[in-house]
Structure 1
Amino acid sequence: MKLFGVLGNPVAHSLSPAMMNAAFAADGIDAIYVPFRVESEDLDDALRGLKALGAVGVNVTIPHKLGAFAWVSERTREAELVQAVNVVRFTGSGAIGHNTDVSGWWRSVEHAMPAEPLRVVILGAGGSVQAILASLSIHRPSADVGIAARRAEAVLQLDKQFGNRLHLRHVPWADRHQAVGDAHAVIQCTPLGMWPNADASPIDDPEVFRPGQLVQDIVYRPLETAFLKMAKAAGATVVDGASMLLWQGVDAYEWWLSRKAPAQVMADAVYGTLNKERAAP
């Protein structure tokens, strides 16, 4: 039996085991995908142990993406761009680190991304933003990207990392509504609106949204956030956060196994679980 898993802390909430185990069953692969709660100081030991046990690969989630980047012996271009690893493949001589958040985000929005010239506004400057910027630098390098954040220094750090590949600018948090109104694509990357604070939103003026905009919230619990509801009511094309989770998982599966993933089966597992949570009293 092939062994896969996800390392994180916390990790009990992860949808990846349901998604990956459904994919293995659909493809008739004798494999299991297990969540492993790992403390930061134990990450190296956990990765060495999984390699020794003959695991094929693992996903890596918060707070271990930087630690996994340092631990692997080889890294893909995407991992180097983001300076973080979210998927590891063990090899005879070591381990390769990759980052499917980069491709997964693009696959989640590609169908609705407006044509160039493109103005993008990203709300927040946390860790998830790096994968989005890396993806834009590959697929839309001429985009004008405004990052609305309370801390200008966080945007400055991102500019140091991606400024040679993208045109980045800091949008003061107080000016975010005007920036959203002027944007073709808006990506919400703050924790605002995440369960249990589902009524919160980084935007409180629904008039800033309009038809033709692409609006995504990377929060997926709840599946339809207050932010997305507002944008949808204004006629914008909305993309939920679970789609990014799904496509990074599809890409990880294909990278590990060198075969096409059963994407619809994986989507059914992810959205089926989230819809059950939404229907629960």
Structure 2
Amino acid sequence: MPYDLGATARLTAQCRDPDGTATTAATATVTVTLPDSSTATPTATETATPGTYHADYVTEQPGRHTVRWQFTDPAHAYTDVLDVLEAAPPAILSLADAKQHLNIRSSDDDGEVRYWNNVTTRAVEFYTGPIVPRSITEEHTVRSAVTVVLLHTPVQEVTAVASLLTGGTAPDVADLAVNGATGEVYRPDGGRLSGRLRFTYRAGRTTIRENFPAAARIILGHLWRTQRAGRRGGVAGGGDDYSVTDPIPGIGYAVPNRALELLAPDRLPPGVA
């Protein structure tokens, strides 16, 4: 499961000899490669179990990390990955709401519930665009245009514009207006936009209407049930609420039809993010 930004990730590995037997190594090192390609080398320590090592790494950046273990005498290596969440990952449902819907009362499965809750948010926003407000940065090459169309709607505000060209200029944010529903950015004075520009803006809803968390609950219940078949826990009832009779273009069988019905008033036109 992904780690929260700033949490300590306990990294583990075993040193094995050529026969596959776990054994104590002369040296053990671990290198963590961060998303920006920098590296960290937390101290590797053998545990009470011979041949089993761990190292504690305090996460510093969100994103995918590569973990490389290297042992000597015997020579052995092991590579793994770990993911770190954003400082404020978007989620339509709180952990408490998600657990309440799934009828889970203990904290034993909190990590797994959070994971599928985040997946559920991505599934809902596949149809609606951003719901939970977040900052987005994207680049546009503009050849003297009246408007620039941002990719993710609804747009709340444009917070910064920068030129990516040496000596280039960018319009002042105060001189721009934005159509939140369509993502169109323009100059109210009729001036034109040009250059290679990086836009930073906030997208999402200021008010999260009831149909969004309702659809999220149905999707979460469906994913939880299919991933944990035969295990204790889950959603009481269900039936047609979680049925998927036909594959949905672009997302297959992950979203029940009833959730789509709830999202229908707010679904984006085809091709709009």
**TM-score using structure 1 length:** 0.23
Higher helix share: 1
**TM-score using structure 2 length:** 0.23
Higher strand share: 2
